[in-house]
Amino acid sequence: MVTCRGAVLATVCVAALVSLPAAAGSPTPEPQSVSAQHRSVSATVETTPVASSGDAADDPAIWIHPTRPSRSLVIGNDKGGALDVYDLQGRLLQRIREGFFGNVDVRSPVRIGSTTHHLVAVSRAGLRLYSVDPDTRRLRNVTDAATGSLRVPSGGEGLCLYRQPRTGAVFVFLISRPGGVSQYRLHDTDDDGLVEATRVRRWALGSEAEGCVADDELGHLFIAEEDVALWRYGARPGAGTAPSQRIAVDRVTSAGGRLAADIEGLAIVRTGGGGGYLLASAQAGSATRNFFAVYERAAPHRFVRTFQVTTGGQTDGCGRTDGIDAVAADLGPGFRHGLFVCQDGKNTAPASVGNQNFKLVPLERVTASG
């Protein structure tokens, strides 16, 4: 039995899960058909398409407004040259055109030095940091560098944030395309409200990687090594990084797992008391075979189900998905139980048609039992 605690409505949680397959936390989980526990869901909102054509939209992050959740934001990158900010109706509120942007993550609020930030981190010529103004819902660059970015040796676009619960310290993980991982501590040495970064550890996965997500409360870092496995590491700076010190949550099908390469975006649904889910995008090489896998958030991260976001009455689905994000919070009309966002690799009817965009799905369609 899984007990859901905290302020999240019960329909977001699975009160009792029965007939689950064997734990996926072992190094080689037993093979499982994708369709064995599978559902199709549809989105209710899609964002304004990105400005660039081709493979451009990539990774979304959800920022929750501190006092008016219905005014929350979806922040997504356009690899063709912009960072886009949308409201929950999918309308474009801000477009920052400054060249290539990679993956995006949010922690809010966080205190760095004496300044409280609604922090947005994005891979941009290294590392770029913004703070959201809750009144205007606009992003302001708070990177302590003359160029506007911290020139860190990343060479890729993978990025995620981690906040240490005991100390409140904030860290960012950057992943290079060949699978190099670097962890940086964010700080403000001169207390001028601008954020600096100092590397605290680095290691190599062995092959191409991009997607990552950190579980602040449980101290886990999950990384998608695209053609190999979904790994769990320790998120704190002193945690071990040797192959013997990591856990395979799941593997690609060729290695006896459930996931179809490439393993891409990752997200955590936090439901209080350590409950919730870990979500992974299995890109599967095509728009029609793309699916998402759901695992229990707590170890041993038991497999729950797979799902696809397919065409519905209001939007088309999500195919060939890179980045995802999800929150379990009441965000107002349309998303009372939370929100799941996925990047769509081919934007077609019934709504907008053209450049890629992001789809918004009521979270209970993904997580509710039955």
3-state secondary structure 213-262: EEECCCCEEEEEECCCEEEEEECCCCCCCCHHHCEEEEEEHHHCCCECCC
C-beta pairs of 239-248 under 8 Å, 24+ apart in sequence = 241/181, 241/201, 241/203, 247/25, 247/27, 247/299, 248/25, 248/26, 248/27, 248/28, 248/29
State the pairing for strand pair 303-309/38-41: parallel
Tell me the DSSP string of 112-124: ETTEEEEEEEEES
Select from 193, 183, 199, 197 the least CA-distant residue to 113. Answer: 193
Element (H, E) at 366: helix 364-367
CA distance linking residue 111 with residue 284, whole number of Å: 39
Lowest mean pLDDT of 45-49, 72-76, 173-177, 278-282, name the range: 173-177
User: In this predicted structure, what is the pLDDT of residue 122?
Assistant: 97
Confidence of residue 6 (pLDDT cuts 50, 70, 90): very low
User: In this predicted structure, what is the pLDDT of residue 216?
Assistant: 97
3-state secondary structure of 265: strand
Which positions ≥6 away from 293 have C-beta within 8 Å? Answer: 250, 258, 259, 279, 280, 282, 303, 305, 306
Question: Does residue 193 come out as left (phi exceeding 0), alpha (psi in the -120 to 50 range) or beta?
Answer: left
User: In this predicted structure, what is the pLDDT of residue 17?
Assistant: 29
Q: Work out the percent of the chain whose per-residue pLDDT is above 90.
A: 81
Confidence of residue 154 (pLDDT cuts 50, 70, 90): low
Question: Does residue 316 come out as left (phi exceeding 0), alpha (psi in the -120 to 50 range) or beta?
Answer: beta
Confidence of residue 24 (pLDDT cuts 50, 70, 90): very low
- What residue ranges define each of the domains in the chain, with the CATH number in brackets? 10-367 (2.120.10.30)
User: In this predicted structure, what is the pLDDT of residue 289?
Assistant: 85
Residue pair 62/69 in contact by the 8 Å Cβ criterion: no
User: In this predicted structure, what is the pLDDT of residue 19?
Assistant: 28
Q: What residues does 171 pair with on adjacent strands?
A: 162, 185
Confidence of residue 35 (pLDDT cuts 50, 70, 90): very low
Count CB neighbours of 2 within 10 A.
18
CA distance linking residue 141 with residue 148, whole number of Å: 7
- Is residue 111 packed enough to be buried (19+ CB in 10 Å), middle (13-18) or exposed (0-12)? middle
CA distance linking residue 228 with residue 248, whole number of Å: 10
Q: What is the chain's mean pLDDT, rounded?
A: 89
